[in-house]
């Protein structure tokens, strides 16, 4: 600016003199032309941060800050390999530059070279003032430099055996600057990982003393209360976080999950509102749609639940929970045949999904009458989990359908040994034994033509939805209630219509008939009990 004023003033002085008038115009034109060229050339330097800092580096190569700035520009472009070269050069130009060594460590970490990253952070840490117990620091250390402790701790905490070492680093940072909020936050996260929720709570409360209006801190404190099995207190804190930031995505999502899991009907409208707000902010997150679907299943809004589940699956084709619960929804609404393709898709992605195999086997047995297909499902379950009571029990049913009563009896005895307190298994074993006894007495085929015996089977238990605070991914939830443990499509116990044999006397026939009628009455009573469940 001053140069321009001097040129203008000098030109006015000279141009008034007739002798220099032409010369003054020529000089002014030359100055304007050369500066225009310089400006045009400089515009190329301002094309990006990288070109701007590179132009400065051409002027002065002994400034570590310039080397760091070029590295930052390349880092922002995700060009970590080239950025590393400039950060390393900055450490050579100024070996005691803590920030330069931190930049090198961060870049190594981005390149998944953790060993070199740790070495760089350790070098930066060695340049920090050494901690002397009982001594107070005369000057406050800049938080940017204290981040070396945070970054180093965050790096080594990935190793489960070094969690205590990471905690020590966080405490060092706090001792050097007690108002270092980020150290409390990071330490709280680590303490949760170390299963020390009470100490984590203390860390977050200390951070809140420094910043009471930080919604993220309130959110983290709510997560601690979830770990402490205090969902009501967690919900209150989530609500406070949302007062500070009504669009806090994680608080919206997790508070809605807590409301849903509470089972309180009056909270469902607010849970729905929060999930809708969440998906407006995160339209590509399948978890939001899935949990809306689960909420609709709680409200018996089957059509809407189906819509949300399908949206979740559209966004994430292998969404385990959405696939299973959509199939379950079809099964519960008497659309079992529509559930089969969904279960096939689920088992294509997750062939070891036990509850999916149980549901598929149940549908094949009761709707498709595919005993062989159901048998394969239940055998697969027992391959995966030999102690699975539902799979074992339902395989016993298959043996019954195959008219192999002795094998069914042996199978039920083994199942009862696995679950001696399950009364329904004991009842079914008695039914099988009664059928064996009845068949032996009248010496007739066990099953008349066209009749089968369907022993009631347990449906899959419910799987609880519990979303992690980082995003996660929800586990499955089956809506079948525990007190409805019998399959709705099981057939009634078959009756023997045994004919009299020519070799029996009239008295023997009457005695056999009396026993048969008594057995049938007993079976009918059992059926009434089962149907009442």
Confidence (pLDDT) at 488: 32
What domain range is 452 assigned to?
Answer: 388-533
Q: 428-466 as b/e, with b when 16 or more CB fall inside 10 Å?
A: bbebbebbeebbebbebebbeeeeebbbbbbbbeebebe
* CA 98 – CA 91 distance, rounded (Å): 9
What is the C-alpha to C-alpha distance for residues 71 and 83, in angstroms, rounded to an integer?
A: 4
- Region at 63 (left for phi over 0; alpha for psi -120 to 50; beta for the rest): beta
On whether residue 442 sits in a domain, the answer given is yes
118: nearest Cα among 88, 72, 144, 156: 156
Kindly report the pTM of this predicted structure. Answer: 0.70
Quick check: is 82 in a domain? Answer: no
What's the pLDDT score for residue 479?
Answer: 35
d(Cα 57, Cα 468) in Å, to the nearest integer? 47
Query: CA of 96: how far to CAs of 99, 255, 278, 512, in Å?
Result: 9, 47, 47, 102
Say how far apart CA 240 and CA 247 lie, in whole Å. Answer: 12
d(CA 145, CA 136): 18
Residue 489 lies in a domain: yes
125, part of any domain: no
- The CB density around residue 293, as the number of other CB atoms within 10 Å, is 27
On whether residue 242 sits in a domain, the answer given is: no
Dihedral angle computed from the Cα positions of residues 430, 431, 434 and 440, in that order, rounded to the nearest 10 degrees: -120
Helix (H) or strand (E) holding 252: helix 249-262
Residues ≥6 apart with Cβ < 8 Å to 121: 101, 102, 105, 148, 151, 152, 155
Residue-wise DSSP of 310-332: HHHHHH-TT-HHHHHHHHHHHHH
Token reading at 14: 């000279």
The closest alpha carbon to 375, from 387, 362, 386, belongs to 362
The SS3 of residue 361 is helix
What's residue 18's pLDDT? Answer: 59
Tokens for 60, please give them: 């002065």
CA dihedral 482, 488, 489, 495 (to 10 degrees): 100
**Residue 492 in tokens:** 């009634």
Task: Name the phi and psi angles at 133, rounded to 5.
Answer: -55, 130
Q: Which residues in the chain come in under a pLDDT of 50?
A: 138, 443-505, 509, 523, 526-533
Judge whether 330 lies within some domain: no
Residue 522 lies in a domain: yes
pLDDT at res. 8 = 74
Which residues have a Cβ under 8 Å from the Cβ of 317 and sit 6 or more positions away? none
What is the pLDDT, as a whole number, of residue 109? 94
Determine the pLDDT at residue 227. 94
Residue-level pLDDT at 518: 54
What local confidence, expressed as pLDDT, does residue 215 receive?
Answer: 95
Looking at the 3D structure of the chain, how many domains does it have? 1
Is 136 part of any domain? no
For residue 66, give the nearest of 82, 120, 104, 58 by alpha carbon: 58
Map residue 177 onto helix, strand or coil.
coil
Rounded CA gap, 298 and 116, in Å? 52
Return the pLDDT at 67.
Answer: 92
d(CA 134, CA 152): 24
pLDDT reported for residue 440 = 67
């Amino acid at each position: 600016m001053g140069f321009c004023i001097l040129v203008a003033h000098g030109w006015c002085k000279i141009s008034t003199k007739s002798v220099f008038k032409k010369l003054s115009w020529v000089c002014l034109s030359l100055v304007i032309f050369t500066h225009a060229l310089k400006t045009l050339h400089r515009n190329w330097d301002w094309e990006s941060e990288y070109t701007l800092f590179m132009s400065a580096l051409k002027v002065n190569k002994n400034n570590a800050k310039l080397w760091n700035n070029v590295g930052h520009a390349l880092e922002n472009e995700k060009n970590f390999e080239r950025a590393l070269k400039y950060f390393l050069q900055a450490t050579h130009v100024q070996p005691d530059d803590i920030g330069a060594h931190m930049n090198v460590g961060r870049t190594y970490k981005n390149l998944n070279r953790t060993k070199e990253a740790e070495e760089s952070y350790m070098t930066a840490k060695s340049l920090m003032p050494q901690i002397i117990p009982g001594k107070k620091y005369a000057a406050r250390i800049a938080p940017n430099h204290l981040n070396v402790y945070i970054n180093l701790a965050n790096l080594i905490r990935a190793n489960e055996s070094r969690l205590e070492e990471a905690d020590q680093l966080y405490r060092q940072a706090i001792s050097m600057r007690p108002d270092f909020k980020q150290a409390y936050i990071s330490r709280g996260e680590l303490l949760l990982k170390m299963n020390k929720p009470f100490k984590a709570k203390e860390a977050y409360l200390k951070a809140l003393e420094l910043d009471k209006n930080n919604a993220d801190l309130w959110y983290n404190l709510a997560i601690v209360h979830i770990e402490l099995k205090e969902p009501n207190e967690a919900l209150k804190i989530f609500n406070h976080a949302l007062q500070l930031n009504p669009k806090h995505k994680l608080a919206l999502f997790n508070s809605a999950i807590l409301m849903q899991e509470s089972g309180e009907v009056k909270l469902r409208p607010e849970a729905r509102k929060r999930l809708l707000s969440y998906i407006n902010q995160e339209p590509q997150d399948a978890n939001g749609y899935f949990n809306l679907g689960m909420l609709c299943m709680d409200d018996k809004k089957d059509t809407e639940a189906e819509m949300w589940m399908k949206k979740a699956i559209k966004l994430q084709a292998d969404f385990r929970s959405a696939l299973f619960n959509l199939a379950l929804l079809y099964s519960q609404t008497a659309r079992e045949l529509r559930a089969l393709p969904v279960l096939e898709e689920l088992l294509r992605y997750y062939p070891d999904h036990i509850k999916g195999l149980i549901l598929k086997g149940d549908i094949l047995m009761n709707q498709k009458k595919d005993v062989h297909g159901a048998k394969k499902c239940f055998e697969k379950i027992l391959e995966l989990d030999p102690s699975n009571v539902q799979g074992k029990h339902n395989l016993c049913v298959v043996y019954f359908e195959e008219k192999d009563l002795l094998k069914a009896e042996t199978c039920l005895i083994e199942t009862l040994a696995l679950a001696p307190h399950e009364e329904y298994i004991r009842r079914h074993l008695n039914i099988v034994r009664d059928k064996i006894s009845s068949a032996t007495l009248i010496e007739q085929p066990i099953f008349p033509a066209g009749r089968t015996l369907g022993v009631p089977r347990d449906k899959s238990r419910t799987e609880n939805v519990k979303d992690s605070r980082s995003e996660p991914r929800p586990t499955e939830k089956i809506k079948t209630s525990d007190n409805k443990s019998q399959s709705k499509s099981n057939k009634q116990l078959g009756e023997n219509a045994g004919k009299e044999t020519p070799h029996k006397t009239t008295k023997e026939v009457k005695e056999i008939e009396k026993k048969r009628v008594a057995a049938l009455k007993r079976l009918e009573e059992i059926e009434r009990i089962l149907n009442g469940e």
